[in-house]
Amino acid sequence: MNFLQNFAIGQYVPRDSFVHRLDPRSKLLFLLFFTLLVFWANNWFSYGLLLCFLFMVTAASRIPGVYLLRGLKPVWFMLVITVILHLLITKGGAVYVQWGWFSIEQAGVQQAIYMAFRLGALVTMGALLTLTTTPMDLTDGLERLLAPLKRFNVPVHELALMLSIAMRFIPTLLEETDKIIKAQKARGVDFETGPLIQRAKHMIPIVIPLFVGAFRRAEELALAMEARGYRGGEGRTRLRQLHLSWRDTLLAGIAILLGVLMGWWRE
Amino acid sequence: MVKSVKGKPIITLQDITFSYEIEPGWNETVLQGMNMEIEQGSFVAILGHNGSGKSTLAKLMNGLLLPHDGVVTVNGNDTSEQERLYEIRRTVGMVFQNPDNQIVGTSVEEDVAFGLENLGVEPTEMRNRIDEALRAVHMEAYAKQEPHRLSGGQKQRIAIAGVIAMRPSVIVLDEATAMLDPQGRREVCSLIKRLNRDEGITVVTITHFPEEALDADRVIVMQRGSVYLDGPPREIFSRTEELQSIGLDVPHAVRLRHHLVRDGVELPPILHQEELVEELCKLLLKT
């Protein structure tokens, strides 16, 4: 197993593009706005506009289409089910196919296409966000966007720190898992053959040492953090500073334009 | 960096008693009535085998643990005063044994930044200090690297960089070389020696490798929670039998000389391998 060789946290694809250089905060806010637009759209014009825009963003991000298709993989099943359900259930307009009680009608086809587009557009846009933003930038962006919630006692800083420590320790724990698997194999545990339940049982000697190790690490890390003067988010400064640039202003302009066009073209 | 006045005690421990509660009502005493002073600018090695209380001693030095009896002061600040704790932790930096479990940041520079962020240092000033610290440990080429791609020795150097970026007067290394390969150990040892000599940082290194104590100004041997021997390395290692009787080893050259002397070869006390070679050559020429 040499998954550590090419291991990267998240699915960030490094490129130097307009989208990559946007501030993570504006990307997150824009994703939210885009979601609203996708649900606001209700005719061919408005959907067409969003589709064109999606292509433009993809082009601007310089992310190969393959990555976006890979992003759709986990939801394709849901996509197919949605399409089939709408084809069968939604009635109205011209009848295309009639076979006993079973029929496919115009409204059904239209609704199926709309729904598939909505789902696909949202997932693609989400994938574009994670493909063009490093996990650390995303965490930072989220922390700052959610900062006002601190007033309501939401532990925003702690959550962000947890996330970044988790990301820091993923490779370490993977390495440890690898070591444990090898150690157990050397003691004769067979992970590859046998019935499913048997194999599941063989996971126990991997999971338990991993957990024990993780707790030990957590304790030592807490001590090390304390030794370096950690005392919560209060009065803390950050090395990474997020900067809004002309790109983010441009994005805001695009968002407004998109909103106006949508309001105009939708029915 | 802090240029120090040599000789003034920076850490003092007075009548320290410390015990861990193993079970309710059953305490294991780790340190008992211990007194120690660490002088500013010195390089102190603390030797002792497992369970001698040396690791507890390290954690007492920056208030990670508080003594049950007695007083620990750092630069005159009592570690039991909660409001002085951050001042104390900034003065006494600590490097731990496991390199993986003390790196917080997802990249090298972010990890070095961690302590500075806690202190509330301004981002531009932080940048300068990080670069300076990474240069000091010769890791400037790795600033953007992810920590899990580094070797053990490199990780420990990053941990040291994280500490020196906070500009401490003292660095305590709690068996910082125990999990490293010989190469990594050499890297870390030469680094701390340089920091002590060139930057005037007080170094307290806790170890069970006698070789690492050779370069220190002072060696303290711990045994069952108290100071067993205390003095310059030349003096300490000349007492080979005493050290061996409490289960500690001595550097290879010292051991060899000890055996030779016992077998009737006349040799003066030595510390380093080169000295031994020289003395043996002299002897050879005489006969």
pLDDT tens string B21-47: 878 878 888 888 889 999 999 999 999
CA distance A199 to A189: 10
What average pLDDT is seen over chain B?
88
What pLDDT score does B238 carry? 85
Chain B residues 240-259 with a CB less than 8 Å from chain A:
none
Mean pLDDT of chain A: 87
Does A237 sit within 8 Å of B121, measured CB to CB?
yes
**Arithmetic mean of pLDDT, A218-245:** 88
- Pair (A79, A163) in one structural domain: no
Q: Is A234 inside a domain boundary?
A: no
CA A170 from centroid of its chain's CA atoms: 17
In a domain, A198, yes or no: yes
Regarding whether A156 and A126 lie in a shared domain, the answer is: no
**B115 to chain A, closest Cα gap in Å:** 5
- Which CA distances in Å does A163 have to A27, A36, A141, A234? 19, 27, 12, 18
A225 contact residues in B (CB cutoff 8 A): 104, 114
Task: Indicate if the pLDDT at residue A29 is higher than 50.
Answer: yes
Nearest by CB to A229, from B89, B130, B148: name it: B89
Examine residue A138 and state whether it is found in any structural domain, yes or no. no
Alpha helices in B165-212, H assignment, sequence order: 182-199
Residue A23 has pLDDT above 90, yes or no: yes
- Verify that A210 and A82 share a domain, yes or no: no
User: Residue A104: which residues within 8 A CB-CB, separation 6 or more?
Assistant: A87, A88, A95, A96, A97
User: pTM for this one?
Assistant: 0.81
Partners of A196 in the β-ladder: none
Give the mean pLDDT of B80-85. Answer: 88
The Cα B207–Cα B192 span in angstroms is 13
Task: Characterize the bridge pairing of strands B226-231 and B218-223.
Answer: antiparallel
> pLDDT band for position B1 (50/70/90)?
very low
Give alpha helix (H) positions in A156-203: 156-186, 196-201
Residue corresponding to tokens 């070389």? B177
- Between A29 and B226, name the one with better pLDDT: A29
Regarding whether A246 and A129 lie in a shared domain, the answer is yes
Cα gap B184→B195, rounded to integer Å: 17
A64 and A187 part of one domain: no
Strand partners, A230: none
pLDDT of A195 reads: 83
Q: Is B144 on the interface with A (CB under 8 A)?
A: no
Integer Cα distance of A142 and A151 in angstroms: 16
Residues A131 and A69: beta-carbon distance below 8 Å: no
Q: Which among B98, B116, B148 has the least Cβ separation from residue A220?
A: B98
% of chain B exceeding 70 in pLDDT: 98
Q: State the smallest CA–CA distance between residue B218 and chain A in angstroms.
A: 25
Give a yes or no: residue B271 inside a domain: no
Residues A113 and A217 reside in one and the same domain: no
Shortest distance between the Cα of A243 and any Cα of chain B, in A, equals 13
Say if residue A92 is exposed, middle or buried (CB neighbours under 10 Å; 0-12, 13-18, 19+).
Answer: exposed
Picking from B25, B35, B176, the residue whose alpha carbon sits closest to that of residue B101 is: B176
A116, A120, A123, A129: CA torsion to nearest 10? -150
Q: Give the model's pLDDT for residue A10.
A: 62
Residue type, A23: D
- Please give the sequence-ordered ranges of beta strands (E in DSSP) within A25-120, or none if there are none: 95-99, 102-105
Domain assignment present for A7: no
Which are the contacts of A265, defined by CB distance < 8 A and separation ≥ 6? A43, A45, A46, A49
Indicate whether A9 belongs to any domain: no
Residue B4 predicted with pLDDT over 50: no
Which of B106, B123, B126 has its CB closest to that of A168?
Answer: B106
**CA A261/CA B158 separation, integer angstroms:** 53
CB contact under 8 A, B123 and A220: no
Length of chain B in terms of residues written: 287
What would the two tokens of residue B281 be? 């050559």
Q: Considering only CB atoms, which chain B residues are within 8 Å of A135?
A: 106
pLDDT at A2: 47
CB contact under 8 A, B118 and A167: no
pLDDT at residue B3 is higher than 50: no
The total number of structural domains in chain A stands at: 2
Is residue B282 one of the residues assigned to a domain?
A: no
Minimal C-alpha gap between A58 and chain B (Å): 27
Tokens of B50: 């497992």
Structure confidence at residue A249 (pLDDT): 92
**Mean pLDDT on B217-237:** 89
Q: Enumerate the residues of chain A whose CB falls inside 8 A of the CB of residue B148.
A: 4, 171-172, 175
B107 CB neighbours in chain A (<8 A) are 136
Q: Please state, in angstroms and rounded to a whole number, the distance separating the CA atoms of residues A123 and A135.
A: 17
Q: At what angle do helices A24-40 and A246-265 cross, to 10 degrees?
A: 0
Please determine, for residue A6, whether its predicted confidence score (pLDDT) is greater than 50.
no
Segment A51-83, tens digit of pLDDT: 999 999 999 999 888 888 887 888 888 889 999
Residue A193 lies in a domain: yes
Interface of A with B (CB under 8 A): 4, 9, 135-136, 164-165, 167-168, 171-172, 175, 216-217, 220-221, 223-231, 235-241
- Angstrom distances, CA of residue A44 to CA of A95, A121, B123, B171, B184: 20, 15, 50, 68, 65
Residue A124 is encoded by which pair of tokens?
Answer: 């693609």
ipTM of the complex: 0.86
State the nearest Cα–Cα gap between A63 and chain B, in angstroms.
Answer: 23
Separation of alpha carbons A57 and A176, rounded Å: 40
Q: Are residues A155 and A122 in the same domain?
A: no
A166-211 pLDDT, tens digit each: 888 888 898 899 899 899 889 888 777 778 888 888 888 889 999 9
Tell me the shortest Cα–Cα distance from A222 to chain B, in angstroms: 8
Asked whether residue B255 carries a pLDDT value surpassing 70, the answer given is yes
Question: Is B94 in contact with B174 (CB distance < 8 Å)?
Answer: yes
Range of the domain at A194: 149-227
Q: Among partner residues B104, B109, B117, which is closest to A165 by beta-carbon distance?
A: B104
A59 and A113 both lie in a single domain: yes
Helix (H, G, I), strand (E, B) or coil at A169: helix
Q: B105 by DSSP, 3-state: which?
A: coil
Is A3 a domain residue?
no
Which residues fall within 8 angstroms of residue A38, CB to CB, at 6 or more apart?
A50, A118, A121, A122
Inter-chain residue contact A227 with B90, CB threshold 8 Å: no
* Contact check, Cβ <8 Å, A239/B130: yes
- 8 Å CB contact of A228 and B96: no
Closest by Cα among A254, A190, A247, A219 to A49: A254
Q: How far is CA B56 from CA B17, B60, B61, in A?
A: 11, 6, 9
CATH number of B170's domain = 3.40.50.300
The total number of structural domains in chain B stands at 1
Q: Are the beta carbons of A229 and B90 separated by less than 8 Å?
A: yes
Residue A250 neighbours by CB distance under 10 Å: 13
Assign B185 to helix, strand or coil.
helix
Partner A, chain B 147-206, Cβ-Cβ below 8 Å: 147-148, 162-163, 166
Mean pLDDT of B3-9: 63
Q: E-assigned strands of chain B?
A: 9-23, 26-39, 43-47, 69-74, 77-78, 92-95, 170-174, 202-207, 218-223, 226-231
Q: Which residues from chain B sit within 8 angstroms of residue A224, using beta carbons?
A: 94, 96, 101-102, 104
Structural domain boundaries enclosing B199:
9-250
Report yes or no: B116 at the A interface, CB cutoff 8 Å: yes
Q: Are B104 and A227 an interchain contact pair (Cβ–Cβ within 8 Å)?
A: no
- Cross-chain CB nearest to B96 (options A216, A220, A235): A220
Substitution target from A226, A228, A237 for chain B, most B beta carbons within 10 A: A228
The answer to whether residues A34 and A125 touch, using CB atoms and an 8 Å cutoff, is yes
